[in-house]
Amino acid sequence: MVCGGADAAPDQAPTSGRPSDLVSTTGSLAHPDAAAVSADVERALAEDVGTGDATAALVPLGIVRARVVSKDAATCVLAGSAWADACFHALDPAAEIMWTRVDGASFVAGDTLCTIQGNARALLTAERCALNFLQTLSGTATTVAGYVAAIQGTRCRILDTRKTLPGLRYAQKYAVRAGGGTNHRMGLYDAILIKENHIAAAGGIARAVAAARAGSPSLPVEVEVENIDELREAIDAGVERVMLDEFSAAERERAVHMAGGRVEIEVSGNVTLDSIVSIARSGVDFISIGALTKHVRAVDLSLRV
């Protein structure tokens, strides 16, 4: 069973460059940025509607009432209500939408998530885009909530990555917070993550970190390390965080001991629900999981007039 998201991080504008940390702070799940939501919805409707909805034009003019219902066999977590609202309101500004759940809340098969009353043609035209957002973002939130529940009671936090669906970075990272997870950097602009290719191109960890400090002194720096020697180099370079890439359990324990609280430790690579508990209990601070946003299984929802 999946629990609803709790203590999700506050929202930030999609272009925010505030580099106070490599992850957002803990707080309540704020309403998503209206401009970001509007831009997502505009693109979605443009590719779906094109020059007009030829099928909806067959329906008589008038007001109808519809509801969004879950058909999913699993307990799920809602995310994306603002995107659904924007889809319906883009085509019928007077549409009345009443939600029975808030983002971050759980629901089961048969639950009505919201009711909509508005122009029949507009609702039918907006239906697919609204459901696409709700199903995809709720799927992300549901997956995240499962990982968060698995490590409940530890001090470790679940992080997302930049492995998001193209064009939906902001939306999926919002869904991660709805599921109780924490956002890593939003993009390439708000934190520095030095990985193996950067290290090779720069001529070593020390040189890469020095260049990062000189070029972007206000940004936090994290280094991905593949062995204990690289971990030692990163710690000596004075980075804020190290990412242990596919360390064994024994190597991970040694890394935590070596770090001694001087740097934050993040674990990445081949993390599953079967392995995550032991990783979280090893003393690391964060576990980042690309599958949260990359391997998306949409929640099964339906709109019924």
Active site residues: 128, 163, 195, 224, 245
User: Which residue reads 């956002």 in tokens?
Assistant: 183
Collapsed DSSP state (helix, strand, coil) of residue 85: helix
Q: Which residues of 30-54 are buried (b: 16+ CB within 10 A; e: fewer)?
A: eebbeebbeebbeebbeeebeeebe
Other CB atoms closer than 10 Å to residue 272's CB: what's the count? 11
For strands 301-304 and 63-70, give the pairing. antiparallel
Contact partners, residue 47, CB within 8 Å, separation at least 6: none
Collapsed DSSP state (helix, strand, coil) of residue 298: coil
Give me the residues paired with residue 159 across strands.
182, 288
Measured distance CA(283)–CA(261) in Å, rounded: 10
The dihedral over CA atoms of 22, 28, 29, 35, expressed in degrees to the nearest 10, equals -80
Q: Which helix (H) or strand (E) holds 134?
A: helix 120-150
Measured distance CA(32)–CA(41) in Å, rounded: 13
